[in-house]
Structure 1
Amino acid sequence: MPKLEIACFNLDSALIAQENGADRVELCVQMNLGGTTPPIELIKQARNKLDIELYVMIRPRGGNFVYSEVEFEIMKNDIIEIKKLNVEGFVFGILSEDNTVNKTQNKELVELANPFPCTFHRAFDEVLHPLMTLEEIIECGFQTILTSGNASNVNDGINQLEVLVQKANNRINIMSGGGLRSSNLTEILHKTKASFFHSSAIIDATEIANPIEIQKLKAILNA
């Protein structure tokens, strides 16, 4: 059965996600920046209230995915501290100046996060050679790639998502996300044959997940 992850930018959304059938929460803050590392106190609150899986974004700032040594140290320290909170996994992705995967830094973070699984986030959609990058991310030890198919959204990236799922061949999960809603999930699901899907389930101008939208997403995946 395909699973659903909800990107949550606050505790309210995380609770709504759980109450309406989501399989996993990706917790972050600053939606306007595409998501950054949530504060420790928010992670603690979410962990105390959630029974479903909780993955935490490790991203010190918005903007590009090339980080200074100082920022990289912050990411390492965040993983060390958040591991103590008994979350289920981490979400991050580091690129080099030429928009290739920084294998050295990503491997170091994956090893630091061990035994917790890691998702390489939509930094993947910035790379120039996605199929080669897919292999590099597998080599780094990630278990999942969150991607819109190297496009601005899953509608535009649907053909590439299908290719990525085929090339991954169950060696890594390809999680479709980026503009995913109940209105397009059926087409994305049938075309890509992906096993995990990612949505904020936000359908208005707020930063709060919509419970009915989550229910619709789950109903499609469970059909």
Structure 2
Amino acid sequence: MDRPLTKALRLPLIEICVEGIDGLLAAQAVGADRIELCASLVEGGITPSLGTIRAAIEQANVPFHVMVRPRGGDFLYSETEYASMLADVSALRELGVPGVVFGCLNADGTMDEARMSELTQAAGPLNVTCHRAFDMTREPAEALESLIRSKVGRVLTSGQRDTAIEGLPLLADLVRQAGDRIVILGCGGLDLHNIAEVRSRTGLSEMHFAALKDVPSAMDYRNPHVGMGGSD
């Protein structure tokens, strides 16, 4: 729930994107208002495991939204991939998670409105966020209207640029276009040094940060002859 101040003075809601249950516990310990729960942030986030989600249900004391993304890469999904997303959303609704995060595009760079609508309907009362698939659309103003028609509650975006600072003009336009019909959740290289500028120049009420930090392995022995992917 947003902090109880007037719209003009209210501090932005802070969402932190994490990988796994340890990340969730760390984020809520430092005061996150909401958490996006993913696996494999190096791929931009994919659906976390059932065990991770159940642990989050048991241990979270702030709302968390679960990423529903069957793989890394683009957001154009096959019929079987989409079926798995639909099943995941339905299962997450039954588990009672607070919200879900997903996004589907057509090959021409438009939002896949039919699939987004069906996924949102499957989510029922859950909070629904469209992730940065939005930033890959060809016409952001129309993409936003499509999400509104699909009854999506918020959209995560950096203003279709690598960082929110670069995407400031579009972010401000999207906030104006959205009004009170959908929440614009700003993201993209946000930190202590630029959050105030981004907020003041866009009017964003919610801001998203990624909790990315390399953690050295605690293994005493590591086989130098075998690589296990990533940075091992």
Q: Same fold (TM over 0.5)?
A: yes
Greater RCO, CA 8 A, separation 6+: 1
Give, in whole Å, the separation in 2 of the partners of 1:193 and 1:61. 33
* Partner residue in 2 for 1:161: 171
* Partner residue in 2 for 1:205: 214
* Partner residue in 2 for 1:105: 115
1:206 to partner: Cα distance: 4.2
Among the aligned pairs, what percent are the same residue?
Answer: 38
1:182 to partner: Cα distance: 1.5
Alignment equivalent of 2:49, drawn from 35, 39, 50: 39
The answer as to whether partners of 2:93 and 2:124 remain within 8 angstroms in 1 is no
Matched, 1:67 2:70: no
Matched, 1:149 2:159: yes
Alignment of 1:119-158 (within 5 A): 119-158=129-168
Give, in whole Å, the separation in 2 of the partners of 1:13 and 1:168. 31
The residue type equivalent to 1:196 in the other structure is E
1:21 to partner: Cα distance: 1.0
Give, in whole Å, the separation in 1 of the partners of 2:37 and 2:46. 9
Give, in whole Å, the separation in 1 of the partners of 2:215 and 2:92. 27
The answer as to whether partners of 2:33 and 2:62 remain within 8 angstroms in 1 is yes
Matched, 1:17 2:30: no
Structure 1 gap segments, 5+ residues each: 208-223
The answer as to whether partners of 2:14 and 2:206 remain within 8 angstroms in 1 is yes
Matched, 1:5 2:15: yes
Moved runs in structure 1, 4+ residues, more than 2 A?
A: 204-207
Matched, 1:195 2:202: no
Alignment equivalent of 1:182, drawn from 172, 187, 192: 192
Q: Per-residue displacement from partner, 1:160-201 (whole Å, max 9, x unpaired)? A: 101110111121100001221122111111111111000014
Computed over aligned residues only, the root mean square deviation of the Cα atoms, in angstroms, reads 1.2
Give, in whole Å, the separation in 1 of the partners of 2:108 and 2:69. 19
1:147 to partner: Cα distance: 0.1
Matched residue SS, 1:183 = coil
1:85 to partner: Cα distance: 2.0
Larger proportion of helix: 1
Structure 2 gap segments, 5+ residues each: 1-9, 217-232
Determine which structure has more spread, i.e. the larger CA radius of gyration.
Answer: 2
Q: How many residues align?
A: 206
The answer as to whether partners of 2:13 and 2:33 remain within 8 angstroms in 1 is yes
Give, in whole Å, the separation in 1 of the partners of 2:69 and 2:143. 20
Matched residue SS, 1:182 = coil
